[in-house]
C-alpha cells in the first residue's frame, strides 16, 4: 500500500471504530474468538478466509502488531476487513494498540513508523472497543476484567485510566486473593481467582475469554476462564495457535 492509501484506510477504519461503543453486544449466530496475532499475517489471513462468512462474527482480542514478522501487513489487512465487514468483524484493543498511552520495549512496529504515521495509527487504534458481551453469558477482552460497578460501565472507561489498564495489561497470577496489586517489576495489574469470581458475578456473566498472556493456563477457574493465543511469535510458550468457537444458541463449541 502507498502512504496515501494507508492514511485513507486509517481514516475509514477510524470512522467504523468511532461508531462503536467500548462494549460490543452480540446476540445471535456463531462467534469465533481470536487471540493475539502479533504480526502473524498468515494466521490472520487463514482465519479470515475460513470463518468470515454469513452467520459468523469474528472477534479479535487485540495485539495485532509487534513481535511477529508482518505487523504492517497484519494490521492493514485487519483494518481493510473491518471497513468492508463492519458488522461481522470486531477488533478489540490490546496493550500493543495503546503504545502511545503506555509505551513498552521492544515495539518494532511502532518504532518502525515515522512520526506522522505513528500518530495516525495511534489515533485510529485509540478508538478500538474494549470488550464483547454475548447473550449466552460470555465476556471477552484482552487482559483482565475491569473494576467497574456494572457491565454497562465498561462504556464509560477512558483511555489510559486504571480500568483501561486492567483490560489491556491485566495478568493472571496463580495466587489467592482478590486484586493482587500492581507487579512492581512490570507495572501490570494482576488478578487471581478471587478477583475473577467477584467481577464476573458482578457483571452477571459465566465465562471469560481472554488472550494477552501466552504463559497462562489455557483453561482456569473450573472451566470459566479461557486464555487463547493465535500467534506463532510465542512458540516457546504456545506450540499451537488457538481460537475459540461459540454458538450463541448453545455455548462454547470448542477450541481449535
Between CA 148 and CA 242, with CA 92 as vertex, the angle to 5 degrees is: 110
The rounded mean pLDDT for the chain is 93
**What pLDDT is recorded for position 187?**
78
Confidence of residue 183 (pLDDT cuts 50, 70, 90): confident
Q: What is the pLDDT of residue 178?
A: 63
Q: What is the pLDDT of residue 181?
A: 75
Residue environment code for 149-186, b if the CB has 16+ CB neighbours within 10 A, otherwise e = eebebbeebeeeeebbbbbbbbbbbeeeeebbeeeeee
Residue 130 is predicted with a pLDDT of 99
- Please name which of 169, 144, 164 lies closest in space to residue 153, comparing C-alpha atoms: 164
Q: Does pLDDT of 254 surpass 90?
A: no
Residue range 40-73, pLDDT digits in tens: 999 999 999 999 999 999 999 999 999 989 999 9
State the Cα–Cα distance between residues 80 and 6, nearest whole angstrom. Answer: 10
d(CA 116, CA 88): 30
- Residue 101: the pLDDT is 93
- pLDDT score of 185: 74
Q: What residue ranges define each of the domains in the chain, with the CATH number in brackets?
A: 3-255 (3.60.21.10)
pLDDT tens digits for range 204-246 = 999 999 999 888 899 999 999 999 999 987 766 666 889 999 9
User: Average pLDDT in the 175-181 region?
Assistant: 67
Q: pLDDT, tens digit, for every residue of 131-164?
A: 999 999 999 999 999 999 999 999 999 999 999 9
Count of other CB atoms within 10 angstroms of residue 55: 8
DSSP string, the chain: --HHHHHHHHHHHHHHHHTS-SEEEE-SSEEEEE-B-TT-HHHHHHHHHHH-STTEEEEE-S--SSSSS-HHHHHHHHHHHHHH-TTTEEE---GGGGTTTS--S--HHHHTS-HHHHHHHHHHHTT---EEEETTSEEE-SS-----SSGGGGGGPPTTSHHHHHHHH-EE-S-SSSEEEE-TTT--EEE-HHHHHHHHHHTT-SEEEE-S-TTS-SEETTTTEEE-B--GGGTTT-SS--EEEEETTTEEEEE-
253 pLDDT higher than 70: no
Percent of the chain with pLDDT over 70: 93
Tell the burial category of 18 from Cβ atoms under 10 Å away from its Cβ (0-12, 13-18, 19+): exposed
pLDDT band (50, 70, 90) for residue 252: low
The C-alpha atoms of residue 103 and residue 215 are separated, in whole angstroms, by 22
Q: Which one, of 116, 60, 108, lies nearest residue 88 by Cα?
A: 60
Q: What is the pLDDT of residue 179?
A: 60
State the pLDDT confidence band at 167, using cuts at 50, 70 and 90: very high
Amino acid at each position: 500500500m502507498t502512504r496515501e492509501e494507508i492514511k485513507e484506510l486509517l481514516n475509514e477504519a477510524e470512522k467504523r471504530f468511532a461508531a462503536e461503543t467500548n462494549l460490543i453486544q452480540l446476540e445471535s449466530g456463531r462467534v469465533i474468538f481470536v487471540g493475539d496475532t502479533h504480526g502473524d499475517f498468515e494466521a490472520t489471513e487463514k482465519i479470515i478466509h475460513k470463518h468470515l462468512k454469513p452467520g459468523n462474527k469474528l472477534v479479535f482480542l487485540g495485539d495485532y502488531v509487534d513481535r511477529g514478522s508482518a505487523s504492517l501487513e497484519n494490521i492493514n489487512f485487519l483494518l481493510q476487513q473491518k471497513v468492508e465487514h463492519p458488522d461481522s468483524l470486531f477488533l478489540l484493543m490490546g496493550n500493543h494498540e495503546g503504545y502511545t498511552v503506555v509505551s513498552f520495549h521492544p515495539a518494532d512496529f511502532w518504532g518502525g513508523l515515522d512520526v506522522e504515521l505513528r500518530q495516525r495509527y495511534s489515533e485510529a487504534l485509540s478508538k478500538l472497543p474494549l470488550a464483547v458481551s454475548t447473550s449466552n453469558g460470555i465476556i471477552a477482552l484482552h487482559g483482565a476484567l475491569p473494576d467497574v460497578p456494572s457491565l454497562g460501565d465498561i462504556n464509560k472507561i477512558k483511555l489510559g485510566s486504571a480500568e483501561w489498564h486492567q483490560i489491556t495489561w491485566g495478568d493472571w497470577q496463580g495466587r489467592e486473593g482478590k486484586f493482587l496489586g500492581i507487579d512492581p517489576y512490570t507495572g501490570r495489574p494482576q488478578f487471581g481467582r478471587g478477583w475473577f469470581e467477584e467481577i464476573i458475578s458482578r457483571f452477571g456473566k459465566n465465562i471469560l475469554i481472554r488472550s494477552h498472556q501466552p504463559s497462562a493456563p489455557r483453561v482456569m477457574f473450573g472451566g470459566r476462564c479461557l486464555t487463547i493465543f493465535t500467534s506463532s511469535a510465542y512458540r516457546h510458550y504456545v506450540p499451537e495457535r488457538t481460537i475459540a468457537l461459540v454458538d450463541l444458541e448453545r455455548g462454547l463449541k470448542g477450541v481449535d
